[in-house]
Chain A
Amino acid sequence: MIPETLRKELSDHCAHYPSRQVGLIYVLQKLQEHYGGWLPDEAISQAAEIVGVPEVEVEGVATFYNWFFREPVGKTVIVCCDSVSCYLCGSEKIVEHLENRLGIRIGETTPDGRFTLLPVVCLGNCDRAPSIMVGDRLYERVTPAMIDEILANAEMLAEGKE
């Protein structure tokens, strides 16, 4: 369940648009934030109710976009670009190093629920490859040596949020 204030805020937001369904992306973003970074089934029906569109529409949008997660994720999501530029500049080594540091394979979440490691097709940062994104922070020209610092930083940030 979501707090009444959030529901009202989201509903009011949708009312700004000529057609309520325009607000769907925003509602899903806010709900993803509320549900700890991902969208459980409950969030889908909540969004459908708030926006006033059928559930299939919401599910369609939520599964279409990369940044809506329909499966549980850790507190911090690390995405590593594996597209051409980053690949040429050594993204494989970055991923490998991350996997070793976190003790998980790409696509998995650490058992303590702190990190989720995901590949991504492009971060639009090809000129400063390889790049990764940790939470909402973008890191450029990443080297395996930088990883430890980045992770420590991320943990600090995550704790700070709490």
Chain B
Amino acid sequence: MSELVKISIDGQEYQVPAGANLLQVCLDLGLMVPHFCYHEALGPAGSCRLCAAMVAPSAEKPAQLVMTCMTKVSEGMVVKIQDPYAKDFRRGVIEYLMLNHPHDCPVCDEGGECMLQDMTVLSEHIHRRSRFPKRTWRNQYLGPLIHHEMNRCITCYRCVRFYREYALGKDLGVFGSRDRVYFGRVKDGVLESEFAGNLVDVCPTGVFTNKRFREVYSRPWDLHTARAICVHCSIGCNLLPGGRHRTLRRIKPHPHKELNRFFICDRGRYGGEYVNLYPRQTRPTIAGTEVGFREAIHHAATQLRGIVEQHGTKAIVALGSSRASLETNAALNLLFKALGAEPQIVYYDSDEEYAAVRLAASLTTSRAITVPTLVEMEKCDFVLSIGGDLTGEAPMFDLSVRQAIRAGAAFFVISPRAGKLDEFARSVLRVRPDALAQAVEKILQALSNPAETIAPEIADIVQALRSAKKPLFLCSAIHGDVALIKATYDLAKAAHQENRPCFLAYYYPAANSVGVALANDSLEPTKALDLLRTGTAKAVIAVEHDLATFFGNLENAKGILEKCAFSMIVSSVDSIPPDMATVWLPASPHYLTSGKFVNYEGRVQHSEGLSLATPLTDGPADLLLSLIEDLGKSALLEQAQYSDIFAVAAEQNVELDELTAKDGGIFIRGQLRPTDLMRDSSPSLPKREMIRWDIIQTFGSEELSALAPPIAELAAPARIEMHPDDMAQQNIAEGDFVPVPDTPSMKLKVVPNPNLARGTFAVPRLPAHVASQVPVEVQA
């Protein structure tokens, strides 16, 4: 802790950390000093001249007018914010800033949370004395997310400082000089950065506003808000969704001091819009006929009870969901107990995912590794990204790594396909998906045997790792590579030394992957498929799980459901036709329901649901609980404990029960032993000449956000990427249609990508409902 110094502000004495930024000190103390260009994340620029105050180094010395954002506090400093001279100066500055500001407030989307409004009032500028004509600008088209209204600009430079310096974006700049300064792109076009949405928050006035919110605009004071957790990746950013008139209007980040402190990615900001469109079928159905909730639930209860009585305790298979809350998955488990059946629940879409996610989650929650927070990542001086594309798979990791890179960290990448961060890497190791683990093992060998000569391609990495003070490994658990998870763990363990912490973070396919990985009754996907295919299982229940994705495609899903005596879907998105199931129970989507999610660190966070008028339906957990009540097993609910359903320490039951959104999350103590999982990890992928690699796109690959119109608009087209040399070898020309490996019914256009490992087909991972809409081109 830094030492404290005594300073006086407007006659009051305060103890503040020595050397701190005076403006930040004042703001932290709740003393409003008008300011624009200063932003806690971006630091001071000293360009707006608004945060002036009279400051004297000590009581004896004369006071001078200084910019508080450019001043560091020192012992005995005397600060006068309310000095008449300083106030007059600030009033003058704001008057200049307002000279060309248009009379837009009534139609401006920033109104109500506009910093310029606040600062103008705070600086006591009331009347525009200038009679000169106002400067005007033409706006630019910046894509579907952001609206540009350049007239309102007060040239604080926050946007370019965020976009270019903080997020290291390339296509937003500042042009011109003097009173002719323009912030925008060289030409109209979609902003490239995945973090462009933050411009909306960063801009102190209405130059950059949320284009989607604008469509159905409401003043911020009218929005109902809740503290929610983002559901579009495994990081668990804290959000503040705002809703009105039964719809979700916009999502803003809610600062969390260890995770997303100021910013979020555009997937989180704009992906939640699916909530307004789904479920389209808002009434339950029995075999396609609309019925009431009570009737549907009673029907399901009777049928399920009948099946257990007739076919035994193993007749039901359920699909849980790694994107649904702990409560929802627990309710599903309790439903089995209420039926007296053996819980046969599958949470994953493939065996590889099952093995990889469970191993990574067990390492995380058993604290075998030190998992960094997003803030800790920014302070690492060595970053090795292994086996995935951070920008698409864990977007906020990308932003944190960018901060580490800005601070001079050595950044390295081992992946089969180029990502957006690769340009910052000191070296990139391009390896086939099935050789990732070997590459990591090679580094481990080189690290532990200093005498050996190091292969040239990994020499940089090993050397930087040896000299690093705070190494960080980021490894993808999304592609189902168990060997890679294990190899990375071994490497991190070897790199861990007493005097230096070594961080390792795995990132997962879904928001609650770590949570469901701890579920006690978890069935392997192929076993579940066998049970259903052979007819051993007579009933299937899917809770927040897309059946088409699980069974490969819609036809397979249909075939299986028809075979079953009973099927029930509880879902907040009706991406498959509701009448396919015997009982369809529409559920309230995320952001409208509450629940707990476990993020990549093993941090359990409570997500609050927005309360918007009368909800059309209940959350999935509540629907399942009504089902249990209908079975007459309400007593079961009262006895239920988290530790019975999930492999968590029993003493955490109360803690978990009492967790609220305000707590910032608690770390779960998982009881899943990594060693058990490592033992049965089989060699991950079979050797093949050409191997498939899933491209996880920031926009369009995540199941829920892909349903949101702006995200769907930004998604790259479906394609197969191949290395040009492979194409030449196999006589494939650009634009040819090639069957997708593992999904031969689909043919996609080939696009050459020189930044792809040889022997790899790279295909964007698309949720089944999106994939079904991709035009299937079959060659003549």
Query: In the complex, are there CB atoms of A and B closer than 8 Å?
Result: yes
Q: Chain A residues with Cβ under 8 A from B171's Cβ? A: 54-56
Contact call A63/B186, Cβ cutoff below 8 A: no
* CA A44 to CA B186, docked complex, whole Å: 10
A160 at the interface (CB under 8 A from B): no
Most chain-B Cβ atoms within 10 A of its Cβ — which of A44, A55, A56, A60?
A56
- Known A-B contacts A44-B186, A59-B186; the reply to A54 vs B173 at CB < 8 A is yes
Q: Chain B residues with Cβ under 8 A from A54's Cβ? A: 170-171, 173
Closest Cβ of chain B: how far from A150's Cβ, in Å? 29
Which of A55, A57, A59, A64 is the one whose CB lies under 8 Å from B177?
A: A64
Contact call A60/B175, Cβ cutoff below 8 A: yes
Closest B-chain residue to A61, C-beta based?
A: B175
B493 at the interface (CB under 8 A from A): no
B66 at the interface (CB under 8 A from A): no
* CA A55 to CA B172, docked complex, whole Å: 9
* CA A63 to CA B174, docked complex, whole Å: 9
B298 at the interface (CB under 8 A from A): no
Contact with B along A47-62 (1 / 0, CB 8 A): 0000000111101100
Q: Chain A residues with Cβ under 8 A from B186's Cβ? A: 44, 55-56, 59
* CA A56 to CA B169, docked complex, whole Å: 10
Q: Chain B residues with Cβ under 8 A from A59's Cβ? A: 173, 175, 186
Contact call B177/A56, Cβ cutoff below 8 A: no
B256 at the interface (CB under 8 A from A): no
Closest Cβ of chain B: how far from A71's Cβ, in Å? 13
Contact with A along B148-184 (1 / 0, CB 8 A): 0000000000000000100000111111110000000
Contact call A64/B173, Cβ cutoff below 8 A: no
Q: Chain A residues with Cβ under 8 A from B469's Cβ? A: none
B185 at the interface (CB under 8 A from A): yes
Contact call A63/B170, Cβ cutoff below 8 A: no
Q: Chain A residues with Cβ under 8 A from B174's Cβ? A: 56, 60
Q: Chain A residues with Cβ under 8 A from B185's Cβ? A: 56
Q: Chain B residues with Cβ under 8 A from A55's Cβ? A: 171, 173, 186
Closest Cβ of chain A: how far from B722's Cβ, in Å? 27
Q: Chain B residues with Cβ under 8 A from A44's Cβ? A: 186
Contact with A along B477-501 (1 / 0, CB 8 A): 0000000000000000000000000
Most chain-B Cβ atoms within 10 A of its Cβ — which of A54, A55, A57, A60?
A60
Interface size class of A (residues with CB under 8 A): 10 to 19
* CA A84 to CA B171, docked complex, whole Å: 39
Closest B-chain residue to A64, C-beta based?
A: B177
Contact call A64/B172, Cβ cutoff below 8 A: no
Closest Cβ of chain B: how far from A64's Cβ, in Å? 5
* CA A59 to CA B185, docked complex, whole Å: 9
Contact call B173/A56, Cβ cutoff below 8 A: yes
Closest Cβ of chain A: how far from B420's Cβ, in Å? 14
Q: Chain B residues with Cβ under 8 A from A63's Cβ? A: 175-177
Q: Chain B residues with Cβ under 8 A from A57's Cβ? A: 173
Closest B-chain residue to A58, C-beta based?
A: B186
* CA A38 to CA B622, docked complex, whole Å: 69
* CA A56 to CA B177, docked complex, whole Å: 14
Which of A56, A60, A64 is the one whose CB lies under 8 Å from B170?
A: A56
* CA A57 to CA B177, docked complex, whole Å: 13
Q: Chain A residues with Cβ under 8 A from B176's Cβ? A: 63-64
Closest Cβ of chain A: how far from B296's Cβ, in Å? 56
Q: Which of A60-77 contact B (CB under 8 A)?
A: 60, 63-65
* CA A63 to CA B176, docked complex, whole Å: 5
Closest B-chain residue to A53, C-beta based?
A: B170
Q: Chain A residues with Cβ under 8 A from B175's Cβ? A: 56, 59-60, 63-64
Q: Chain A residues with Cβ under 8 A from B164's Cβ? A: 56
Most chain-A Cβ atoms within 10 A of its Cβ — which of B173, B176, B177, B185?
B173
* CA A22 to CA B174, docked complex, whole Å: 18
Closest Cβ of chain B: how far from A54's Cβ, in Å? 4
* CA A103 to CA B173, docked complex, whole Å: 38
Most chain-B Cβ atoms within 10 A of its Cβ — which of A44, A55, A59, A65?
A59
* CA A56 to CA B171, docked complex, whole Å: 6
Most chain-A Cβ atoms within 10 A of its Cβ — which of B164, B185, B186?
B186
Closest Cβ of chain A: how far from B518's Cβ, in Å? 45
* CA A59 to CA B173, docked complex, whole Å: 8
* CA A56 to CA B175, docked complex, whole Å: 8
Most chain-A Cβ atoms within 10 A of its Cβ — which of B171, B172, B176?
B176
Closest A-chain residue to B173, C-beta based?
A: A56
Closest Cβ of chain A: how far from B137's Cβ, in Å? 14
Closest Cβ of chain A: how far from B777's Cβ, in Å? 34
Closest A-chain residue to B163, C-beta based?
A: A56
* CA A54 to CA B185, docked complex, whole Å: 11
* CA A150 to CA B626, docked complex, whole Å: 95
Closest Cβ of chain A: how far from B3's Cβ, in Å? 38
Closest Cβ of chain B: how far from A30's Cβ, in Å? 20
* CA A55 to CA B171, docked complex, whole Å: 7
Closest Cβ of chain A: how far from B59's Cβ, in Å? 44
Q: Chain B residues with Cβ under 8 A from A64's Cβ? A: 175-177
* CA A59 to CA B379, docked complex, whole Å: 33
* CA A21 to CA B174, docked complex, whole Å: 17
Closest Cβ of chain B: how far from A46's Cβ, in Å? 13
* CA A141 to CA B176, docked complex, whole Å: 32
* CA A64 to CA B186, docked complex, whole Å: 14
Q: Which of B167-214 contact A (CB under 8 A)?
A: 170-177, 185-186
Q: Chain A residues with Cβ under 8 A from B177's Cβ? A: 63-65
14 A-B pairs with CB atoms under 8 Å apart are A44-B186, A54-B171, A56-B164, A56-B170, A56-B172, A56-B173, A56-B185, A59-B173, A60-B175, A63-B175, A63-B176, A63-B177, A64-B176, A65-B177
Additional A-B contact list (17), CB under 8 Å, known A44-B186, A56-B170, A60-B173: A54-B170, A55-B171, A55-B186, A56-B164, A56-B171, A56-B173, A56-B174, A56-B175, A57-B173, A59-B173, A59-B175, A60-B175, A63-B176, A63-B177, A64-B175, A64-B177, A65-B177
